[in-house]
Structure 1
């Protein structure tokens, strides 16, 4: 397996994910809901992963919505549930300015993310394409496990997994 690593700069993350990642290598037709575009492209929905999810009120494996992507990766870096947080604060009498500031995550930085794209070796693509359903399931499971292991390694800050 190879891993392509890309640095995403502030202000680019949301457009990058919507144009390059969440619908595969294709373009999403205008006004097509994200989930529908993913189904048309044969791309599985995004799922939240990682140790920091609980702090944000997210659960591992929970589907990533377009609104969450927009909130998290826009220019301000807002909480994935920013719209809900703002609405709750406004309903409790907070000023619009306070509600707007309450959902910001951290401070603004030049680099907002690192993108890891996991690609199986070309022979694995062929095996998947020509194999039976069981072979495909095993390949997908191995691919997903490799992604989990790399994420664990990054979060632990230790030596790479073997």
Structure 2
């Protein structure tokens, strides 16, 4: 689960949707996209939808995502009848925040570096050079603030991490990713289309059941001075996007359920559009994962008669419930990317410490992880239809 930023934070989901000639708002089945390149469009979920004049299963359009998750407005406020029906703002607009000063200094330093090199101000800077500039700027900022040099590389790293935290951005929603264990995706990829549809159906049932559980248990908002009272809401508003593979093309059936931060209070509380109490959602991460896995396993046993068995997890982790009879070697082959990324990331972190005399900050560690990911993966495949993927 991670927070979805307002603005363009939603676009990583909509840009993967296949182009389709349908203009209907109602649900289009996954089967319609068997020959289409890209993913099926999203669909609306949640018992909070009636307050937005939407229904479960309605197709999610890019414009609706922009309005709700980008701007915090009614997802149908661009329609001709919107004004007459009162489809506009949903409570308060998303807040805005100023950038932190050190990040601004860093940005100027990067721009000046490019200008001095005769390059465009926003030209890409090699990772090693960016790290050198960041270290130099951080040392100067530390000395200016504390009147002394940092005691050691650890103190400099901590200062840089605190001072260069990203500017706050408003939270538009929360991305809950429902991904079955690897053996389920393997069965889905290798089975006949009829069996694959049963796997998809069990997965979707588990997603819906888990979302319903979250609505019952953790869907609240806060009202009163300082949000002193926690009160229930009409339900959640969510957009679900089904994906069939990983970034490298390995079979990876999973669904992103993007829960809106906008929720409607009950009639006795005025029926106002307020903010979801996201803390409750984060506390329920483990509960949601367990609920999904348990429901999925039960559904597959009932639909297909498969059996599940415990398999050893990674070091220090509990066993994983996988479908019995699917070779562990096949699962490992489709999971080898993670091992390669982690090994390369350790190498890059060691090199960084040698070159810069300090450990990387959290932001720099993320950059190294991205670098390791890029260096160890093959070229990203072009969008493929499900038919092409299954043939591969």
The TM-score with structure 2 as length reference comes to: 0.31
Task: Name which of 184, 192, 214 aligns with 1:132.
Answer: 192
Q: 2:182 aligns with which of 102, 108, 122?
A: 122
Deviation per CA, 1:101-157, whole angstroms, max 9, x where unpaired?
x61112225221110111121111211121112211110011001110111011111
Counting matched residue pairs gives 133
Separation of aligned partners in 2, 1:45 and 1:119: 18
Pairwise CA distance, 1:80: 0.8
Deviation of the 1:68 alpha carbon:
1.0
Please give the alpha-carbon distance, in whole angstroms, between the structure 2 residues aligned to 1:137 and 1:150. Answer: 20
Identify the residue that residue 53 of structure 1 maps to in structure 2.
49
- 2:58 equivalent to 1:62: yes
- Give 1:48-127 correspondences, 5 Å limit: 48-74=44-70, 76-84=71-79, 89=83, 103-107=88-92, 108=94, 110-127=170-187
| Larger gyration radius, structure 1 or structure 2 | 2
Displaced runs of 4 or more, over 6 A:
none
1:43-62 CA deviation, whole Å, 9 max, x = no partner? Answer: 22211110010000001111
Structure 1 position 73, deviation (Å): 1.6
C-alpha root-mean-square deviation of aligned residues, in Å? 2.6
1:35, CA displacement in angstroms? 3.7
The answer to whether structure 1 residue 8 and structure 2 residue 4 are counterparts is yes
Q: Distance in 2 between matches of 1:103 and 1:18?
A: 22
Residue number in structure 1 paired with 2:381: none
* C-alpha contact 2:4 2:172 (8 A) present in aligned 1: yes
Aligned equivalents of 1:112, 1:149: Cα separation in 2:
23
Whether the 8 Å CA contact 2:44–2:60 is kept in 1: the answer is yes
Using the TM superposition, give the Cα deviation of residue 10 of structure 1 relative to its aligned residue in structure 2, in angstroms: 2.4
* CA distance in structure 2 between the partners assigned to 1:15 and 1:141 by the alignment: 26
Change (3 A) 1:80 1:34: farther
Summarize the Cα distance change of 1:47–1:88 in structure 2 as closer, same or farther, 3 Å threshold: closer
Q: 1:146 to 1:62 in 2, by over 3 A?
A: same
- Per the normalisation by structure 1, the TM-score is 0.70
| Higher RCO (C-alpha under 8 Å, 6+ residues apart) | 1
State the secondary structure of the residue aligned to 1:8: strand
2:199, 2:65 → 1: CA distance? 28
Report the 3-state secondary structure (helix = DSSP H, G, I; strand = E; otherwise coil) of the residue aligned with 1:114: strand
In structure 2, distance between residues paired with 1:119 and 1:88? 37
Q: Matches of 2:174 and 2:214 in 1, distance apart?
A: 11
**Residue 387 of structure 2 aligns with which residue?**
none
User: Are the aligned partners of 2:44 and 2:59 in contact in 1 as well (CA < 8 Å)?
Assistant: yes
Instruction: Give ranges in structure 1 of 5+ residues lacking alignment.
Output: 24-32, 93-98
**Any gaps of 5 or more consecutive residues in structure 2?**
22-32, 96-169, 219-286, 295-392
